[in-house]
């Protein structure tokens, strides 16, 4: 049967089941009642109503109305299809579909571009779909297919249901919720992605990710992460700028920058991160390095071979470092730090710091520092020409030209060291060759213990040493 043309506004009706030879010309409108038919579309501009038929067409434009019943199968290539509230399945290549509220199937090896709203797409292995415009679509993806969400209108979100899909690709400024795990998602600039347990490759900037347990491959990007529950996201790239709050993040690269509050942050071996954060908990692996620059009230759980630099902090905030035997803790200027543990080496490079600790070696020269060591083993200050303020603390000096003020301290002077004190009620223990100058305050013979009195020098201020 051949329908070559119809009058404008009029429809032909074909009652047929299993008919293998229905042919349409151009600009015809036909209602096929029945199913299992094969319909050859030889022209363009046709309108076809029916269901459960096979439509053979290539390089034509066609409107399909299939609002109930079995999906129509379109077997050709390079067609432009318009449909609404219809069921359609594609088996060919380079098809284009526009419309809304359709149920669309893609057979193995087929490819379709959609500019649609509220579609449901079922994508078989080896098929390819490109979403260009529209939104609020649901894509049920396979394993070896390709899902490209190139663009969408503002305020819409597409949902991709997939597990172990290696080909989910996003364009720019799209919002996608990926339900399932083990997928590989490529993200460009300005995207918003919700995913859990996936590998996410960042190819642009200003992206936003929510979910947990993802592996994020990114370098030189800017990214907002929202991972408020579940396993930490692993960021494997370098030199990214990350914003996060109340999130769990693990870094594996170097030169990363993180801002945000109340995060749990892990640093893998040899990774490095700079933080401008409040109330973060930071766990460092061996060889990792963290720089705190601003913020405060962070808890840093450090290892032995890592690097902790607290460069600056906001007024009124203190950071806590839990460490034992760490050889590389560095303080900048005007920071307040509580080091819990002992045997650490603390390098003080700035001035005006407040250090609470015990049993550590403090390497400093020509700085001002307040130490609070009210219990535990004395701190050993190895530098020269520092101005130290303490009260009720235990301190041992190893350098020269040191100045100390404070009260009720226990002070040790190593061999060859020298200190000027303006203190009350201190106990000073001097080794061979050490010297102390008392300048102000008061100290009695009962509180001054000379470990080797014949080689130590005690002088009030302005009195020459003997």
Domain range summary for the chain, segments of one domain joined by +: 1-90, 93-199
Written as one string, the DSSP assignment of 2-70 is EE----TT--EEEE-SS-S-EEE-SS-EEEEESSS-EEEE-SSSEEEE-SS-EEE-SS-EEEEE--SSS
Q: What is the mean pLDDT of residues 101-124?
A: 96
Q: What is d(CA 128, CA 112) in angstroms, rounded to the nearest whole number?
A: 7
Q: Supply the pLDDT for residue 449.
A: 45
Q: What is the mean pLDDT of residues 85-100?
A: 97
**Would you say 212 and 196 are in contact if contact means Cβ atoms under 8 Å apart?**
yes
**140's tokens:** 């049920």
Q: What is d(CA 455, CA 434) in angstroms, rounded to the nearest whole number?
A: 8
**Would you say 214 and 197 are in contact if contact means Cβ atoms under 8 Å apart?**
yes
Q: What is d(CA 453, CA 395) in angstroms, rounded to the nearest whole number?
A: 20
Can you list the positions of beta strands (E) in 124-232?
A: 128-135, 138-140, 146-151, 158-161, 168-170, 175-179, 184-187, 192-194, 199-202, 207-210, 215-217, 222-226
Closest to 211 in 3D by CA, of 249, 166, 168: 249
* pLDDT confidence band for 148 (50 / 70 / 90): very high
- Given the structure tokens 């942050």, which residue do they identify? 265
Q: Supply the pLDDT for residue 204.
A: 84
Assign residue 294 a region: left if phi > 0, alpha if psi is -120 to 50, beta otherwise?
left
* pLDDT confidence band for 460 (50 / 70 / 90): low
Please name every residue paired with 277 in a beta bridge, in sequence order, or none if there are none: 260, 295
* pLDDT confidence band for 466 (50 / 70 / 90): very low
Q: What is d(CA 16, CA 119) in angstroms, rounded to the nearest whole number?
A: 29
> How many secondary structure helices (H) and strands (E) does the chain include?
0, 54
Q: Supply the pLDDT for residue 9.
A: 56
Number of residues that this document lists for the chain:
466
Residue 445 has pLDDT above 70, yes or no: no
**228's tokens:** 């408020």
**Would you say 431 and 452 are in contact if contact means Cβ atoms under 8 Å apart?**
yes
Instruction: Give the whole-number percent of the chain exceeding pLDDT 70.
Output: 93
**Would you say 236 and 253 are in contact if contact means Cβ atoms under 8 Å apart?**
yes
Using one digit for the tens of pLDDT, what is the confidence trace for 244-303? 999 999 999 999 999 999 999 999 999 999 999 899 999 999 999 999 999 999 999 998
Q: What is the mean pLDDT of residues 138-157?
A: 94
- Side-chain half-sphere of 279: how many Cα atoms within 13 Å? 6
Residue 361 has pLDDT above 50, yes or no: yes
* pLDDT confidence band for 20 (50 / 70 / 90): confident
Q: How far is CA 461 from CA 64, 135, 143, 150, 437, in A?
A: 102, 82, 83, 79, 6
Q: Report helix, strand or coil for 93.
A: coil
Using one digit for the tens of pLDDT, what is the confidence trace for 193-250? 999 999 999 988 899 999 999 999 999 999 999 999 989 999 999 999 999 999 999 9
DSSP-assigned letter for residue 447? G
Closest to 267 in 3D by CA, of 315, 300, 309: 300
The whole-model pTM stands at: 0.84
* pLDDT confidence band for 324 (50 / 70 / 90): very high
**Would you say 436 and 451 are in contact if contact means Cβ atoms under 8 Å apart?**
no
Q: What is the mean pLDDT of residues 140-166?
A: 93
Closest to 94 in 3D by CA, of 59, 124, 66: 59
Q: What is d(CA 321, CA 100) in angstroms, rounded to the nearest whole number?
A: 57
**Who has greater pLDDT, 423 or 279?**
279
431 C-beta neighbours (distance < 10 Å), count: 19
**264's tokens:** 């749990």
Written as one string, the DSSP assignment of 156-187 is --EEEE-SS-S-EEE-SS-EEEEESSS-EEEE
């Amino acid at each position: 049967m051949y329908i070559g043309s119809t009058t404008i506004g009029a429809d032909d009706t074909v009652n047929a089941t299993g008919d293998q030879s229905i042919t349409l010309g151009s600009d015809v409108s036909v209602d096929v009642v029945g199913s299992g038919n094969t319909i050859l579309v030889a022209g363009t501009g046709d309108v076809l109503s029916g269901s459960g038929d096979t439509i053979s067409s290539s390089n034509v434009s066609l409107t399909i109305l299939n609002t109930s019943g079995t999906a129509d199968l379109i077997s050709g290539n390079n067609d432009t299809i318009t449909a609404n509230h219809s069921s359609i399945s594609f088996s060919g290549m380079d098809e284009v579909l526009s419309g809304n509220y359709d149920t669309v199937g893609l057979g193995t090896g087929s490819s379709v571009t959609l500019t649609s709203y509220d579609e449901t797409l079922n994508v078989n292995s080896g098929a390819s779909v490109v979403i260009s415009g529209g939104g609020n679509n649901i894509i049920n993806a396979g394993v070896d297919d390709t899902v490209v969400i190139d663009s969408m209108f503002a305020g819409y979100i597409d949902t991709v249901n997939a597990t172990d899909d290696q080909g989910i690709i996003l364009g720019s400024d799209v919002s996608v919720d990926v339900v399932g795990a083990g997928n590989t998602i490529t993200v460009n600039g300005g995207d918003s992605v919700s995913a859990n347990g996936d590998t996410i490759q960042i190819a642009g900037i200003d992206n936003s990710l929510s979910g947990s347990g993802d592996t994020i491959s990114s370098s030189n990007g800017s990214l907002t992460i929202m991972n408020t529950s579940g396993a930490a996201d692993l960021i494997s790239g370098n030199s990214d700028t990350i914003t996060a709050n109340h999130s769990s993040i693990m870094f594996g690269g170097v030169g990363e920058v993180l801002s945000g509050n109340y995060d749990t942050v892990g640093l893998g071996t040899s990774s490095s991160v700079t933080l401008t954060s409040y109330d973060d908990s930071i766990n460092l692996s061996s060889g990792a390095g963290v720089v705190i620059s601003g913020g405060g009230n962070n808890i840093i759980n450090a290892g032995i071979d890592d690097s902790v630099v607290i460069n600056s902090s906001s007024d009124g905030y203190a950071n806590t470092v839990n460490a034992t035997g760490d050889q590389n803790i560095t303080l900048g200027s005007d920071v307040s730090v509580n080091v819990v543990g002992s045997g650490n080496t603390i390098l003080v490079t700035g001035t005006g710091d407040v250090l609470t600790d015990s049993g550590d070696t403090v390497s400093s020269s020509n700085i001002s520092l307040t130490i609070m060591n009210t219990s535990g083993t004395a701190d050993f200050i190895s530098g020269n020409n520092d101005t130290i303020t303490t009260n009720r603390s235990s301190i041992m000096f190893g350098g020269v030209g040191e100045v100390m003020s404070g009260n009720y301290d226990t002070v040790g002077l190593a061999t060859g060291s020298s200190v000027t004190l303006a203190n009350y009620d201190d106990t000073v223990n001097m080794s061979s060759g050490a010297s102390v100058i008392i300048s102000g305050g008061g100290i009695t013979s009962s509180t001054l213990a000379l470990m080797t009195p014949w080689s130590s020098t005690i002088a009030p201020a302005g009195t020459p040493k003997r």
